[in-house]
Amino acid sequence: MTWNMEKFSTIALLLLLVPVCMAAQQPDSLFAEGNRFYGSGAYQDAVTRYEALVASGHANASVYYNLGNAHYKLQDLASAILYYEKARKLDPADPDIEANLNFVNLGITDRIQPLPEFFIESWWRGLVFSQTLTMWSVLAVIAWLLAFALLAAYLYAYRPRLKRAAFYGGVAVMVVALSLLAVAYTQHRIQTDHRDAVVFRGKVPVKSAPAEGEKTLFVIHEGTKVRIADEVNDWIKVTLPNGNEGWIESAVVKVI
């Protein structure tokens, strides 16, 4: 009975450790090289190193963050915002990314007042994005396995008190595991459903319909983040945090 439990948890631990051990050697040196260039002020060289990392599939919150910094130093605010947003998507809880994004956003032309939202909504989003998706899913799986381990212990417990404790504990941990899964799933859905983009042209007229001749509703400027709501041919429908929406050409934005 006790042996069974031990075996169970050992397997679970081993299974968790396996993906963590997979790491490559080559990108480390590229990253360090980029950092060295950045440190010496050769921001363009740093950018090429970091971009090589991204191109080779080693995209990473840190790489995107450093790319954003390098682009900021090269005074390319739109690119800086794009990469900071990419970094934040991968690591929504990182305070550095948040700080730099906020700082750089002060430098762009458009100031957009977001619509007020219900406090529970913002609280929930704050919770969902307080950890990375990987962190949430790891926690959820651990809780899930722990819940079943406790329920199994309930099956084998001999003394009635122990048996009762194992049962209620198992049910409670199961509830926790399901909540964690819900949080992770929410973050996953938000990230896959919401496609955001950054404007890369100095001045972009936002039209009322996907055609050049339509009325211009308002004008947005370089560096502004928009949400892609729809797509027709070469045009995308964008929404702003303040609720405005309209159509712009898809060529003027880069998708985060």
Give the Cα separation of 80 and 69 in Å (integer): 6
Contact between 48 and other proteins per CB under 8 A: no
CB-wise, 15 or 219, nearer to other proteins?
A: 15
**Binding residue for other proteins, selected from 47, 78, 88, 100, defined by CB under 8 A:** 100
Contact between 19 and other proteins per CB under 8 A: yes
Contact between 195 and other proteins per CB under 8 A: no
Q: 218 is written with which tokens? A: 């308002």
Judged by CB under 8 A, the stretch of 55-63, 123-131, 193-201, 235-243 that binds other proteins is: 55-63
Q: Per-residue DSSP letters for 115-170? A: PP--HHHHHHHHHHTTS-HHHHHHHHHHHHHHHHHHHHHHHH--SHHHHHHHHHHH
Give the Cα separation of 146 and 38 in Å (integer): 45
Residues within window 79-98 making contact with other proteins, judged by CB under 8 A: 96
Contact between 186 and other proteins per CB under 8 A: no
Contact between 151 and other proteins per CB under 8 A: yes
Give the Cα separation of 102 and 68 in Å (integer): 12
Contact between 188 and other proteins per CB under 8 A: yes
**Binding residue for other proteins, selected from 83, 136, 235, 247, defined by CB under 8 A:** 136
**What are the residue ranges of helices labelled H in the chain?**
2-20, 26-39, 43-55, 61-73, 77-90, 95-105, 119-128, 133-156, 160-193
Contact between 72 and other proteins per CB under 8 A: yes
- Minimum CB separation of residue 64 from other proteins in Å reads 10
**Binding residue for other proteins, selected from 147, 220, 240, 252, defined by CB under 8 A:** 147
